[in-house]
């Protein structure tokens, strides 16, 4: 899935030599968690909305140089890594840099989540199956073979949980009849955590993602 067309240029970038007056106004008028700062045009870091109570209009951004976080992505960063970067930094906006460390725009979490909802994982008809197995024993190639060996299509799969050396894998399978697929997973020593044909799990996941998107756009 390509998300480069989701890069936005409507969010400002501030130079470290500026005062905090416009930064304060930016955070007061938006719901964004961070904003990018440059030094002589080159990316320096991001200011956090959490620090807003400490900002004074006549102070320089320079005064907060050492409090800045430095996370960012590039146009080449894969969309799953972009989502991970959002989560790891508790951010709803990410600076996107070019090869010269110049900010070319931002990714908005709401836009990326909306693109994820628009993928075949959500849109294609099928059922959700969640299986778990020891972290040393699972193989995505084996998982695909099990699904396809039952004359079904694997529309998507991702590791949705990992605890105590056990991984949980969520699968979107292109059939509503998951019984044979589930039984085959059991024969291969996978534990079937969830699996039915009513798509309730998928609907819950989609609704939560849509709720997150609406919340971010408030």
- Give the Cα separation of 211 and 130 in Å (integer): 23
The residue that leads in pLDDT, 104 or 80, is 104
Q: What is the pTM of this model?
A: 0.67
Going by pLDDT thresholds of 50, 70 and 90, the confidence category of residue 3 is confident
**Tokens encoding 110:** 């709401």
Q: Under a CB-based contact definition with an 8 Å cutoff, are residues 99 and 77 in contact?
A: no
B/e letters for 32-60, b = 16+ CB within 10 Å, e = fewer, are: bbbbbbbeeeebbbbbbbeeeeebeeeee
- Give the Cα separation of 102 and 4 in Å (integer): 16
Domain ranges of the chain: 4-116, 122-208
Helix (H, G, I), strand (E, B) or coil at 125: coil
Helix (H, G, I), strand (E, B) or coil at 112: helix
**Per-residue pLDDT tens digits for 139-166:** 899 999 999 999 999 988 888 888 889 9
Closest CA to 127 of 78, 186, 200: 200
Residues 6+ apart with CB under 8 A from 204: none
Fold of 122-208: Alpha-Beta Plaits (3.30.70)
pLDDT value for 204: 59
Fold of 4-116: CBS-domain (3.10.580)
pLDDT at residue 199 is higher than 50: no
Q: Under a CB-based contact definition with an 8 Å cutoff, are residues 72 and 7 in contact?
A: no
């Amino acid at each position: 899935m390509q998300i480069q067309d989701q890069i936005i240029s409507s969010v400002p970038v501030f130079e470290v030599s500026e005062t905090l007056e416009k930064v304060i106004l930016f955070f007061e008028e938006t719901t964004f968690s961070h904003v990018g700062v440059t030094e002589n045009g080159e990316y320096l870091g991001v200011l956090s909305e959490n620090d807003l109570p400490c900002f004074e209009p006549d102070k320089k951004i320079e005064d907060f140089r050492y409090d800045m976080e430095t996370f960012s992505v590039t146009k080449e960063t894969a969309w799953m890594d972009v989502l991970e970067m959002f989560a790891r930094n508790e951010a709803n906006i990410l600076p996107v840099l070019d090869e010269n460390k110049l900010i070319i725009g931002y990714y908005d979490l709401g836009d990326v989540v909306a693109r994820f909802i628009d993928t075949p994982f959500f849109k294609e008809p099928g059922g959700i199956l969640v299986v778990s197995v020891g972290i040393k024993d699972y193989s995505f190639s084996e998982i695909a073979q099990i699904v396809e060996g039952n004359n079904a299509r694997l529309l998507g799969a991702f590791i949705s949980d990992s605890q105590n050396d056990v991984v949980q894998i969520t699968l979107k399978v292109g059939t509503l009849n998951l019984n044979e697929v589930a039984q085959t997973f059991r024969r291969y020593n996978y534990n079937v955590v969830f699996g039915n044909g009513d798509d309730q799990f998928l609907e819950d996941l989609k609704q939560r993602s849509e709720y997150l998107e609406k919340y971010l756009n408030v």
